[in-house]
């Protein structure tokens, strides 16, 4: 079995996530009642046997660093290899903000050099899926490619003006790459994951940054494909996936996993998703409470009515409060008689007695952390 | 060379807990699940962590596999440290011979070498049988400030029940003058909790003396404490008045679970300053479906609820299918209650399956128990008070 390491690039463009990512990277965004976006990717890598994982951080990375810690929850805290948090170097050239992933990699050549694995899976951090990469690695080896990209044909992953799309020839080799086109011409969405030899990545990064290139797909991969300088092919990921790049897509992901058949495809027994533990009591439902179609984490106290909602740890819903189609993060409180619909409440928010807050279905209201309404 | 510790804890976890019936057939009592996501041993271990006691020997003997695996290196309780931590201590051969633990005092005696490594001034003796939150450090302060040789934690029990316990008769200042095991006519209602702090030098002396006595039961309550009293050692009673539950019988284990649903909860489990730690299963949040009806119930991660659950406790990963109807019951991790099954006043142990349309337990009477890993066929009936293991025939 080949020795593979993982590198995760965080801090991508997140303006469409509004208040949710002012204080944290997308990778650190709480999802699904107790996880953070990055948990799925790190767990996928660990389940695929990777023991050396580097996380390139920038901008508002404090929350992410705090969450990952020593990597213990993912069994990445050992003496051999483990989790490596790679904060930005603040120098004259680097101000804590990388123009592109190639710059992030260039800043961390030391880490690339010190690592011993032959192959590297390089990934962005804003797409949620559960994959162990073994099939992709086998595909890469069997086809003798220099670089293998991972893509999906899932139509919900396509967006106008955002995303990267690829076209393939009949052998599965990449013919063309579009980055953030006004309207995508291709149905294959690049999942921002690629696999190649670690030494090859080092070479590419050195050359690319020396020539002023920043973006992986647009500046580097496209050039390699157009000038036929490397064999670049693509592996199709056929499982469930979500691109967390806007308030709407964040909301949709959490609502999608309320469906048992979808949840079973993301949370697979043999491929567990690890995350930080908080030692809460089980959730309590009072005699007068009424709950339907909801995902509820430990430590919650439900005394009112909840429907079609995702409640994180320690959320309290008071008697006669009504929560519908909402996502409520840790320790949120919905007090007596309050009614909220289509809302996303960041951590520790309080909705006071008898307050009514109804968001439009297509544009959920986001309440920032610690706000009291 | 290990560094000296002021106080270490020795947790007696070797008993069978035979009054728990089939629940302890394959697992030691301290490993029995409780409260939706805990095991009984989480309470004394978490109390140690929160009290600042970082060295705990856990004496195991009966069916220790699940308990040992659960404790692991002690990480969930912050006891996986470089100097100290939690140690599983089974009986072992010394020289040419070795023997099982013959009694609570003998178990400690056989582990004197372990204790000596840390040259402790004090040793805290605990058991893995009770649900309670207690600051052992406060008890230690009391022991030291009273210049005691032994401190025994006591709690007041109803006078009608005093004859069931080991009763301490004390002076007004807390000094113990007499100890009576299950007295017919109790003179006091302060019952021993089985939690002791000894000054190690004294304890070592009495353990050694007791070991040489061939007629002794080698028991703290029956031998060590009375011997120390006889010699007029300084024994004091430490009053404890928090929630405390002995979960040694099926009924009391069930009651202790039901206590968590009471409002207000008799024991505050939401106290962030005294968390009860446990090994978390790491599953997604639980799901309550469109048609489910959940009231007055505790549910933890990984559960999928499609049926009706009232006044019950669901542990991790439990599945309640559509049409299933559970009331006043305790469903332990991984169990499945199939469509149309009716469960009343029961304990369903880990990884059991209750077949579709079955009727388990009744609205009154003793608690019915379905054993670990048992798969019940569809449509069967289990009367109240019945214990069903794999050998049970319908």
- A to B CB pairs, distance under 8 Å: 98
Is the pLDDT score of A222 beyond 70?
Answer: yes
Alpha-carbon distance values, B29 to A165, B14, B59, B110 (Å): 58, 8, 12, 21
3-class SS string, B329-356: CEECCCCEECCCCEEECEEECCCCEECC
Helices (H) and strands (E) in chain B, counts: 8, 30
From chain A, the residues in CB contact with B273 under 8 A are none
Q: End-to-end CA distance of chain B, in Å?
A: 60
Specify the pLDDT at position B167: 93
Closest CA to A159 of A142, A127, A183: A183
Specify the pLDDT at position A284: 97
A260–B291 CB contact, under 8 Å:
no
Q: How far apart are CA A233 and CA A142, in angstroms?
A: 12
Architecture of domain A284-367: 3 Solenoid (2.160)
**Residues of chain A numbered 61-120 and touching chain B (CB < 8 Å):** 72-73
> Using one digit for the tens of pLDDT, what is the confidence trace for A305-337?
999 999 999 999 999 999 999 999 999 999 999
Specify the pLDDT at position B394: 82
Is the pLDDT score of B219 beyond 70?
Answer: yes
From chain A, the residues in CB contact with B263 under 8 A are 286
Q: pLDDT-derived band of residue B383, with 50, 70 and 90 as boundaries? A: very high
pTM more than 0.90: yes
Is the pLDDT score of A97 beyond 90?
Answer: no
Nearest CA in chain A to B314: A282
Both structure tokens of A369: 């952390």
Is the pLDDT score of B316 beyond 90?
Answer: yes
From chain B, the residues in CB contact with A293 under 8 A are 288-290
* Least-confidence region, from A89-93, A109-113, A368-372, B38-42: A89-93
Provide the greatest CA pair distance for chain A: 68
Is the pLDDT score of B1 beyond 70?
Answer: no
* Least-confidence region, from A71-75, B92-96, B130-134: B92-96
Q: pLDDT-derived band of residue B96, with 50, 70 and 90 as boundaries? A: confident
Both structure tokens of A210: 């020396």
Specify the pLDDT at position B176: 94
> Using one digit for the tens of pLDDT, what is the confidence trace for A243-267?
999 999 999 999 999 999 999 999 9
Residue A200 contacts B where some CB pair is shorter than 8 Å: no
C-alpha B35 chain-centroid distance: 12
Specify the pLDDT at position B17: 82
- Phi/psi for B392 (5° steps) reads -70, 135
Rounded to an integer, the average pLDDT of A111-123 is 95
Give the one of B36, B275, B290 whose C-beta lies nearest to A282's C-beta. Answer: B36
Are B334 and B317 contacting, i.e. CB atoms less than 8 angstroms apart?
A: yes
Map residue B30 onto helix, strand or coil.
helix
Specify the pLDDT at position B7: 97
From chain B, the residues in CB contact with A72 under 8 A are 75
Specify the pLDDT at position A135: 94
Closest CA to A257 of A327, A169, A344, A354: A327
B285–A273 CB contact, under 8 Å:
no
Share of chain B above pLDDT 90, in %: 80
**Omega cis (within 30) before B169:** no
> Using one digit for the tens of pLDDT, what is the confidence trace for B6-61?
999 999 998 878 889 999 998 899 999 999 999 999 999 999 999 999 999 999 98
What is the domain partition of chain A in residue ranges?
4-266, 284-367
A287–B296 CB contact, under 8 Å:
yes
Q: Which residue has the tokens 């069978």?
A: B16
> Using one digit for the tens of pLDDT, what is the confidence trace for A269-290?
889 999 998 889 999 999 999 9
Specify the pLDDT at position B241: 93
Q: pLDDT-derived band of residue A92, with 50, 70 and 90 as boundaries? A: low
> Using one digit for the tens of pLDDT, what is the confidence trace for B269-280?
888 899 999 999
Q: How far apart are CA B32 and CA A7, in angstroms?
A: 42
Q: pLDDT-derived band of residue A1, with 50, 70 and 90 as boundaries? A: low
Rounded to an integer, the average pLDDT of A132-139 is 94
Specify the pLDDT at position B2: 75
Is the pLDDT score of B353 beyond 80?
Answer: yes
Which one of B282, B285, B291, B293 would you mutate to disrupt binding with A, by most A Cβ within 10 Å of its Cβ? B285
B282–A282 CB contact, under 8 Å:
no
A296–B299 CB contact, under 8 Å:
yes
Residue A289 contacts B where some CB pair is shorter than 8 Å: yes
Q: pLDDT-derived band of residue A355, with 50, 70 and 90 as boundaries? A: very high
Architecture of domain A4-266: Alpha-Beta Complex (3.90)
Rounded to an integer, the average pLDDT of B211-231 is 94
Shortest CA gap A183–chain B (Å):
36
Nearest CA in chain B to A311: B285
B35–A288 CB contact, under 8 Å:
no
């Amino acid at each position: 079995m080949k020795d593979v390491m993982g590198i995760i690039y965080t801090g991508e463009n997140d303006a469409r996530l509004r208040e949710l990512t002012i204080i944290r990277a997308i990778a650190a965004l709480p999802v699904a009642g107790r996880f953070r976006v990055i948990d799925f990717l790190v767990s996928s890598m660990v389940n695929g046997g990777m023991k050396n994982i580097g996380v390139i951080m920038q901008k508002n990375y404090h929350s992410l660093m705090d969450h990952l810690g020593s990597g213990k929850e993912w069994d990445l805290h050992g003496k051999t290899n483990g989790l490596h948090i790679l904060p930005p170097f603040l120098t004259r050239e680097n101000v804590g903000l990388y123009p592109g992933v190639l710059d992030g990699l260039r800043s961390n050549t030391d880490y690339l050099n010190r690592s011993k694995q032959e192959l590297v899976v390089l990934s962005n951090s804003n797409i949620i899926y559960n994959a162990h990469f073994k099939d992709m690695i086998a595909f890469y080896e069997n086809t003798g490619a220099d670089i293998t990209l991972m893509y999906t044909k899932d139509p919900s992953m396509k967006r106008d003006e955002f995303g990267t799309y690829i076209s393939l020839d009949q052998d599965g080799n990449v013919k063309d790459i579009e980055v953030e086109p006004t309207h995508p011409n291709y149905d294959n969405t690049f999942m921002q994951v690629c696999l190649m030899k670690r030494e090859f990545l080092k070479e590419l990064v050195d050359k690319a940054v020396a020539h002023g290139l920043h973006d992986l797909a647009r500046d580097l991969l496209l050039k390699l494909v157009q000038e036929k300088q490397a064999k670049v092919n693509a592996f199709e990921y056929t499982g469930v996936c979500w691109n967390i790049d806007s308030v709407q897509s964040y909301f949709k992901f959490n609502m999608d996993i309320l469906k048992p058949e979808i949840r079973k495809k993301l949370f697979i027994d043999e491929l567990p998703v690890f995350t930080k533990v908080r030692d809460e009591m089980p959730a309590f439902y009072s005699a007068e409470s009424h709950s339907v179609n909801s995902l509820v984490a430990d430590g919650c106290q439900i005394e009112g009515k909840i429907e079609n909602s995702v409640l994180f740890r320690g959320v309290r819903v008071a008697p006669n409060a009504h929560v519908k189609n909402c996502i409520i993060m840790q320790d949120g409180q919905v007090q007596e008689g309050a009614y909220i619909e289509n809302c996303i409440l960041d951590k520790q928010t309080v909705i006071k007695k008898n307050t009514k807050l109804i968001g439009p279905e297509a544009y959920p209201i986001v309440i920032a952390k610690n706000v009291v309404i | 060379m290990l560094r000296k510790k002021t106080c270490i804890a020795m947790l007696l976890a070797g008993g069978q807990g035979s009054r728990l019936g089939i629940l302890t057939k394959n697992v030691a009592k301290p490993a029995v699940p409780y409260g939706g996501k805990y095991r009984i041993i989480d309470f004394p271990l978490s109390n140690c962590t929160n009290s600042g006691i970082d060295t705990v020997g856990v004496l195991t003997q009966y069916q220790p596999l699940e308990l040992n695996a659960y404790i692991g290196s002690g990480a969930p309780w912050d006891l996986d440290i470089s100097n100290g931590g939690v140690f599983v201590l089974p009986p072992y051969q010394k020289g040419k011979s070795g023997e099982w633990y013959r009694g609570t005092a003998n178990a400690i005696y056989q582990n004197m070498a372990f204790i000596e490594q840390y040259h402790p001034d004090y040793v805290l003796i605990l058991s893995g049988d009770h649900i309670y939150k207690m600051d052992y450090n406060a008890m230690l302060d009391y022991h030291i400030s009273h210049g005691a040789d032994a401190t025994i934690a006591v709690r007041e029990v109803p006078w009608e029940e005093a004859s069931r316990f080991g009763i301490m008769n004390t002076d007004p200042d807390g000094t113990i003058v007499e100890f009576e095991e299950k007295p017919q006519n109790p003179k006091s209602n302060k019952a021993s909790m089985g939690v002791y702090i000894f000054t190690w030098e004294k304890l070592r002396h009495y353990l050694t003396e007791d070991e040489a006595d061939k007629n002794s039961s080698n028991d703290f309550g029956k031998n060590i404490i009375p011997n120390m009293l006889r010699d007029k050692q300084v024994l004091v009673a430490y009053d404890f008045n928090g929630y405390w539950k002995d979960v040694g019988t099926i009924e009391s284990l069930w009651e202790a679970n039901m206590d968590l649903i009471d409002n207000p909860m008799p024991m505050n489990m939401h106290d962030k300053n005294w968390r009860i730690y446990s090994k978390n299963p790491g599953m997604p949040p639980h799901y309550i479906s469109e048609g489910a009806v959940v009231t007055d119930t505790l549910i933890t991660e990984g559960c999928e609820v499609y049926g009706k659950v009232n006044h019950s406790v669901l542990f991790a990963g439990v599945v309640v299918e559509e049409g299933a109807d559970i009331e006043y019951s305790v469903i332990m991790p991984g169990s499945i209650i199939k469509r149309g099954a009716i469960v009343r006043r029961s304990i369903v142990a880990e990884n059991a399956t209750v077949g579709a349309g079955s009727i388990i337990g009744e609205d009154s009477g003793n608690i019915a128990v379905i054993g670990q890993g048992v798969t019940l066929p569809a449509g069967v009936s289990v009367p109240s008070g019945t214990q069903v293991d794999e050998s049970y025939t319908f």
